[in-house]
Amino acid sequence: MTRTTAIDRRGFVKAAGLGFLASLAPKSLMALERADAVYASGIRAADGSFAVATVTERGEIVDQVKLPARAHGMAFSAVSGRTVAFARRPGTYAMIFDPWHRSEPIVISARVDRHFYGHGAFSPDGRFLYASENDFDGNRGMIGIYDAGNRFTRIGEYETYGIGPHDMTVSDDGGLLIVANGGIETHPDFGRTKLNLGEMQPSLALIDAATGALVEKHVLPAQWAELSTRHVDLDDKGRIWFACQYEGHRKDLPPLVGHFAKGEELSFIDLPEQTTRRLANYVGAIAVNRSEGIVGITSPKGGASVTLDARTGKVLAETIIPDAAGIAPAKSGFAVSSYDGDFLSTRSDVAWDQHIVRI
Amino acid sequence: MRLWHPLLCLTLIGLATSAAAQTAAPPAGMNEDAVPAVMQRAVDEVIRPGYRNMQQSAARLTTAMKDLCDGGTQQTLDKAKSAFDDTIRYWSIIEIVQTGPVIQDNLFEHILFYPDRKGVGLKQVQALIAKADPKDATVDAIAGKSVALQGLTALEYVLYGNGSDDLIKQKGGFRCLYGAAVAGNIQREAGEVVAAWEKPDGVQASWKHPGPQSNDFMDNKEAVTALLGILVHGAENVRDQRLEQFYKGKDTTPRPRMAIYWRSKNTWKSMTANIDGLRTLWQKAGMAELLPPDKQAVAASIDEDFKSLLDSVPKLNPDIDAATSDAEKAKLDTLLAESRDLITRISDEYGAAIGLSAGFSFSDGD
């Protein structure tokens, strides 16, 4: 989950300018004028093509930008307005685009000996784009560093100090890179096949953004070695919330959500048994609504979203949403999408992909 | 919307259902009444016989390799090669099942190490043969070594690689004894998979009876998703991991030495068996019965896709250098397109028709 300062519809319209607004179909323009917030998410269109869509908090699609292949995670820079759609693992492209069409999209490719893992984040000042990547021959996770001021040229990389990094984010002060090392080995020769399920070592790593040095590494307890850490987000106090997907026995009841801060041990949320079962031991996305102090998670396998109190960890709501996909903070609660085309109260003839970013 | 923990609802999405229900509703469109019979046939008429056939073939291969080591004649070599081809075929039929016991303890990789992108496995096999240490020519010794030394691709090099002429020059030579040990290891690994599937209260019961007591599937939807997953991933494997491993289209440079089983000219035989295995699962399990009445046309399209592929793949040139030459690339381009059609048909059209979201392969969250 990539956190930035979200802007509202007025900001979006102001930034867009007359040129962009004039390019919109009347229905999209009307949707935008009524909207309080705008999001971006990957989609698969009815014709099977892939795109990233901007969408209002009512679920009305405003605009689409075509993509070369299926996307996964998204990142947004409030400073530059640029938005990124990362290819789904083991993809090799990331598209950086301006939702207001003020500049041409830029497509970057992974190094020949790397592939993207589907997530990344901007530095708070918008100067750098970080991407989770796989050094598949070295079997180690990496963070690729791209220079936003030079057409996103790759200028370096850091280790993630683990295998199979997935989601990552950046602390609000830009000093720490926070990575969920899922612990699962993959190699592009074997597609999406998981190669080391018996020997996983998932972890969460805090990495110095200036030097790449490891600041802290939190390996999951041996009891939960098959609990892959997948997604992260930050609350208003800088606390790191993480969500997991379990590769062990389906009857087990692993802790699927937790949180920690720098200098602290991991704390797991003790979800009710029926909630854990409902989530099918698989959380696909997590988001924090900072203004309301709540945490939202979704499970496409379980077909559900769950809202937690960020202070107590108590379950506030559980909602059945078949094929629940992305989640992002809304003005009140969360915006949730589904593979079946639901985005809050609107159903569109698209399949929403796994992640949403508020722009 | 269905709330089962109605403390506070913050998100609203349509699909109103009962507030009391605790389990997922069957996917819209799926003929759920057919699920038990489909799962039963998939297990009892496809998967279990598939592994049993593989194990029996591996046993015949082990015997043939021992006869070769004892005899060292052209006739015993021919029989060993024939037995090897037979095992490739039976393995390729059932290797489409890349879930369940075969992926535990790396059994799959012990039977088949592929691809060997940088030739590391090949170098290991060559080094072992060159060293010719008799202690390395037992099943137990092989089982403790690198996966590259244990399975079908290692045995293919023994029978067809550089120096395989030695097999009929020297009775009981190391190369042959190592090959026999590899065959014995494959037989043993296959036996472990068979034992797991044949245990009456084991994985077969779990697959045939989805629900709270099952170790694998919470409900019918999960069970059907897994079955469909075998089809989709199997079809993707044929195209993405086997064909595209050495041919990605007319504008790319072919890499014929990356083709599976190119030395023994079993590349297309293996791919044909893969597709045959997929069709067998589709037809013998009766997966078309899961379709609602108004979507039966999807089944006919899938049948046609299978038929077309099974007509064309066996006719491709078994010499992969020739098959990837400019003169024959058009056939491979057709194969790329037809295999893509099959994937789309199964994943998107069939998956959507039985209510598994927007298409099966899409709903893999990550």
- Residues 213-242 of chain A whose Cβ lies under 8 A from any Cβ of chain B: 230
What value does the mean pLDDT take over residues A312-325? 95
Percent of chain B with pLDDT over 70: 90
Quickly list DSSP for B12-51.
--S----SS--SPPPPTT--GGGHHHHHHHIIIIIIHHHH
Q: Give the distance from residue A159's alpha carbon to the nearest chain B alpha carbon, in angstroms.
A: 21
Which residue would you say has higher pLDDT here, A6 or A154? A154
What value does the mean pLDDT take over residues A239-256? 94
**A5/A81 Cα distance (integer angstroms):** 10
Q: Give the distance from residue A156's alpha carbon to the nearest chain B alpha carbon, in angstroms.
A: 26
- Would you call A315 and B98 a contact, using CB atoms and an 8 Å cutoff? no
- Residue range A165-217, pLDDT digits in tens: 999 999 999 999 999 999 998 888 776 677 777 789 999 999 999 999 999 99
In chain A, the residue whose alpha carbon lies closest to the alpha carbon of B355 is A340
- Residue range B195-229, pLDDT digits in tens: 999 999 999 999 999 999 999 998 998 899 999 99
Quickly list DSSP for A203-257.
EEEEEETTT--EEEEEEPPGGGTTEEEEEEEE-TT-PEEEEEEE-S-TT-----E
Instruction: Using a CB–CB cutoff of 8 Å, tell me whether A30 touches chain B.
Output: no
**B51/B197 Cα distance (integer angstroms):** 8
- Would you call A317 and B8 a contact, using CB atoms and an 8 Å cutoff? yes
- Would you call B105 and A198 a contact, using CB atoms and an 8 Å cutoff? yes
Quickly list DSSP for B205-244.
HHHHS-STT-SS-SSHHHHHHHHHHHHHHHHHIIIIIIIT
Q: Which amino acid is residue B84, in one-letter code?
A: F
Indicate the pLDDT class of residue A21, thresholds 50, 70 and 90: confident
Measured in degrees and rounded to the nearest 5, phi and psi for residue B64 equal -65, -35
Q: Give the distance from residue B27's alpha carbon to the nearest chain A alpha carbon, in angstroms.
A: 9
Total residue length of chain B: 366
ipTM reported for the complex, 2 dp: 0.74
**A154/A152 Cα distance (integer angstroms):** 6
The pLDDT of residue A257 is above 80: yes
Site from B1, B10, B206 to mutate, A interface, most A CB atoms within 10 angstroms: B10
- Residue range B123-161, pLDDT digits in tens: 999 999 999 999 999 999 999 999 999 999 999 999 999
**A195/B6 Cα distance (integer angstroms):** 40
Which residue intervals of chain B are DSSP H helices?
35-41, 48-71, 74-94, 107-111, 120-131, 139-143, 152-160, 174-198, 203-208, 220-236, 267-284, 296-312, 320-323, 329-344, 351-353
What pTM value is reported for the model? Answer: 0.84
Q: Check residue A23 and give its pLDDT.
A: 76
Q: Check residue B6 and give its pLDDT.
A: 35
Task: Spell out which residues of chain A touch residue B11, defining contact as CB-CB under 8 Å.
Answer: 296, 305, 307, 317, 319, 321, 333-336, 344
Q: Check residue A9 and give its pLDDT.
A: 61
Q: Check residue B26 and give its pLDDT.
A: 58
Q: Check residue A7 and give its pLDDT.
A: 58
The pLDDT of residue A1 is above 60: no
Closest CB to B365 among A301, A306, A322: A301
Q: Check residue B359 and give its pLDDT.
A: 59
Q: Check residue B362 and give its pLDDT.
A: 62
- Residue range A323-351, pLDDT digits in tens: 899 999 999 999 999 998 999 989 999 99
Measured in degrees and rounded to the nearest 5, phi and psi for residue A320 equal -80, 120
Q: Check residue B15 and give its pLDDT.
A: 31
The pLDDT of residue A246 is above 60: yes
Q: Cα dihedral angle (B340, B343, B348, B350), rounded to 10 degrees?
A: 130
The pLDDT of residue A5 is above 70: no
Helix axes B74-94, B48-71, angle to 10 degrees: 160
Which positions of chain B have pLDDT values less than 70? 1-27, 357-365
Cβ atoms of A186 and A228 closer than 8 Å: no
Q: Check residue A8 and give its pLDDT.
A: 64
How many CA atoms, within 13 angstroms, populate the side-chain half-sphere of residue B194? 18
Whether the upstream peptide bond of residue A165 has omega within 30° of 0, thus cis, is no
- Residue range A274-314, pLDDT digits in tens: 999 999 999 999 999 999 999 999 999 899 999 999 999 99
Which residues sit opposite A177 in a β-bridge?
A170, A207
Instruction: Using a CB–CB cutoff of 8 Å, tell me whether A124 touches chain B.
Output: no
- Would you call A351 and B357 a contact, using CB atoms and an 8 Å cutoff? yes
